[in-house]
Chain A
């Protein structure tokens, strides 16, 4: 009996101390612990798959933004009046993840609007779910089921340490309370050209894999078909710098990209959902490399100012000259021809930029060695 007493006293004392520490620091900001300057006012970046769905359950937003890091960093919930929007964009995520989290938000919050940013790379069937994705978190009583993770997990202990260190040094927070990612992918290099070319190389390496977008397209189709009537959905293709098209070219995926665009357009048309394309060659995406930081953080991620234009087009029908095209099956063949011509024009008008992008992509293919992150 003495053994058991000693065992349980030690076990509960240690675990209790860890739980108390994690509760005090409250690294996710979901426990409602008071903010104490120098101790816990700057929350750790954390795992977005973990804290974002729980934040949705707690904040009960009416509008959610869904998509990859392009959405997470590019759309600011503050741009919508009412303060009831939440940015559910997830870093390096895939369509099955977007759908799982969007469905969760629709089921557990009074969501009326879904703004869904599509990205060709996220229709990747090889990495269906990120290793960080925890399906178990989603569902009924998610907050209560996640509570042990927030109190007695090693991950949370590390997050508490990061929160304390960041708070102590008064560092810049990575996420806003409404889920928006602040200054993501800020490459160390201050030169926007280098940042952009880095992305070209990274995407080329990613595209080197042969992935099949069909399963994710089927998931997307089913998601649109199953949306409850109370939810209005706005779908758009996220913009990236024209240089990133060179990555597609180098990987031989131009035809695959166009086929994907046709399928997305057909699916949206079938469900009578408006689809906007902000990608391709337009005045925002063809900005010269040297000044690309006017619109882009790094070529793959636009600045919130561009996101404001996108939201204005999607929600208010604003017509922004040469940015954003409404895609329909009827106009798509001509649109694709026009885009190919626009690509040629861009290469002609910006020969140095086009050459450097093409060289970077070819180099990434030739060397076949790299340390690129999943876009």
Chain B
């Protein structure tokens, strides 16, 4: 079920909330049970068969967690290795079997059939979450938890399919709190408004950009070579689409959780305002970056074994991060690029000591633009279907196929038809949205007067034009404004499309 579907908005959500608060008046456990049932229904709506897979995964991992917490440390290692291997095997089969068989075919010249496996929704997210739980249990950092709480920690519908990637310490203690099952108008108002902003970002902005992106990237995959203007328009449109799509989803997840008093961690903090790649990864998909740091980069040795090893660890971590996003070489390339960026950024800092120096405004703007450009270039392989399409788009970005469509060797319009939007359309959106992501407060900052997110909260950025730093209030005026935004967002639900991160 999609957050931006009518069945979710007008049936599932009202019924779930009403049931939750109604049960909560009688029993905390009953309310939690209702929430578990609702979350499982939410997941099973898409493909009931995989509900069994999810439940099996949760049960096995909970059992492994129990075993880990009850045996002596020397034996924990064996159980942990076994449990993590089982999780990776599950992920490997459903997500990477086709990729590895295809790679083996290509390298060894074999002709093994590539299995056609339907990827279970959110498998990367719920596998990662549970691996973290197991590792922490083995380190004696996780308490004994109730099964329903563990089930909810993994399956809680706001974050189940596309994150934020939760840490058990963040969610499970909250589920014990007595007050979350009590109805609070203030929390509902806050959650509803936060959700509305996310819904608007998804349905009105991200989905509107999608055709401009698909037209050029899909055309490139079919052998068409877009002009420079088309390629830049599509790549920038994708840069914005991905941000509004994924941060919109995260906002919706945070808002949904907040309606019942659960706080989720921040996942996006104006990533395109970053002035370095290091900072970008502190702002983009923050919960994934945190996971990769804590459970991969640091265990690999982090920065403790000298600069050379640090750079290798960074690149390795980002390569795995790339592969986590998708079973394809394009994602590996994207991860590798970001690993390289991070290594260069760290090396530069070590060389110049620039981390300790205060930057001038001009320097910050230049650094911000360079960072943005690097990120945009890396999105090309992330979105393109294959290396050939990546190469075509990158060549177009440097004007290889002419700068304007009239000079292009093959016009994409001739293939996709008049129904395809014109390239100028993407630039109109870019002209509005790029200044918006650079100059306006993000959702978290917009709601900064209220405790919506888990600590540590990020400080609001200093805006170049403070007049634009408006904040949401719990007032009648804002209620009307938010309602109008909600109506517009609902009107655009009819062109419902899946969230980009569902595929990961």
Chain A residues in the interface with B (C-beta under 8 A)? 1-4, 6-11, 14-15, 18, 92, 126-127, 131, 136, 148-149, 152-157, 205-206, 208-210, 368-374
Contacts and interface: CB of A to CB of B under 8 A. Distances in A.
Contacts of A368: 409-411, 414
8 contacts: A7-B189, A7-B480, A152-B491, A155-B495, A156-B494, A206-B415, A209-B222, A371-B418
A155 to B, nearest CB: 5
Contact of A15 (B476, B490, B494, B496): B490
A205 B415 contact: yes
Contact of A92 (B6, B419, B490, B495): B419
Contacts of B406: 369
B40 interface: no
A370 B490 CA distance: 37
B414 A370 contact: yes
A11 B483 contact: yes
Nearest to B483: A10
A373 B418 contact: yes
A209 B222 CA distance: 8
Contact of A371 (B211, B414, B483): B414
A3 B417 CA distance: 47
A370 B411 contact: yes
Contacts of B408: 369
Contacts, number: 107
A374 B479 contact: no
A126 B490 contact: no
A3 B189 contact: yes
A4 B475 CA distance: 10
Q: Which 3 A-B pairs have the closest CB atoms?
A: A153-B494, A10-B483, A6-B479
Contacts of B192: 4, 7
Nearest to A201: B414
Contact of B480 (A6, A18, A206, A369): A6
Contact of A7 (B415, B417, B479): B479
Given A152-B491, A210-B223, 20 more contacts: A3-B189, A4-B185, A6-B476, A7-B192, A7-B479, A8-B483, A9-B483, A10-B479, A10-B484, A14-B483, A18-B487, A18-B491, A131-B214, A131-B419, A152-B490, A153-B493, A154-B492, A206-B414, A208-B410, A209-B415
B188 interface: yes
Contact of B494 (A10, A92, A154, A206): A154
A148 B9 CA distance: 11
Interface string B405-431: 110111101111111000000000000
Contact of A1 (B185, B414, B496): B185
Contacts of B189: 3-4, 7
Contacts of A152: 490-491
Nearest to B203: A154
B486 interface: yes
Nearest to B481: A10
Given A4-B185, A373-B419, A10 B480 contact: yes
B148 interface: no
B419 A374 contact: yes
A14 B222 CA distance: 44
B6 A148 contact: yes
A374 B480 contact: no
B474 interface: yes
A374 B484 CA distance: 38
B185 A149 contact: no
A15 B491 CA distance: 9
A2 B223 contact: no
B487 A11 contact: yes
Given A1-B185, A3-B185, A148-B6, A92 B475 contact: no
B192 to A, nearest CB: 7
Interface string B493-504: 111100000000
A371 B490 CA distance: 33
B364 interface: no
Contacts of A369: 405-406, 408, 410-411, 414
A84 B408 CA distance: 50
Interface in B367-423: 405-406, 408-411, 413-419
Contacts of B211: 131
Contact of B483 (A6, A208, A210, A370): A6
B482 interface: yes
A213 to B, nearest CB: 15
Contacts of A11: 483, 486-487
Contacts of B494: 148-149, 153-156
A10 B416 CA distance: 41
Interface in B444-480: 474-476, 478-480
B484 A14 contact: yes
Interface in B176-215: 185, 188-189, 192-193, 211, 214
B275 to A, nearest CB: 37
Contacts of A148: 6, 10, 493-494
Contacts of B6: 148
A182 B14 CA distance: 44
Nearest to A9: B483
Contacts of B185: 1, 3-4
A363 to B, nearest CB: 13
Contact of B417 (A8, A10, A155, A373): A373
A3 B475 contact: yes
A128 to B, nearest CB: 11
Contacts of B214: 131
A208 B413 CA distance: 12
Contacts of A8: 483
Contacts of B414: 205-206, 208, 368-372
Given A2-B476, A3-B476, A373-B417, A14 B411 contact: no
Contacts of A1: 185
Given A369-B411, A370-B413, A126 B222 contact: yes
A304 B203 CA distance: 41
A15 B476 CA distance: 19
A1 B185 CA distance: 5
Contact of A153 (B415, B482, B484, B491): B491
A218 to B, nearest CB: 14
Nearest to B214: A131
Interface string B287-310: 000000000000000000000000
A71 B266 CA distance: 53
A92 B476 CA distance: 49
Nearest to B190: A3
Given A3-B476, A206-B415, A369-B414, A154 B486 contact: no
Contacts of B487: 11, 14-15, 18
A208 B223 CA distance: 10
A9 B487 CA distance: 12
Nearest to A375: B417
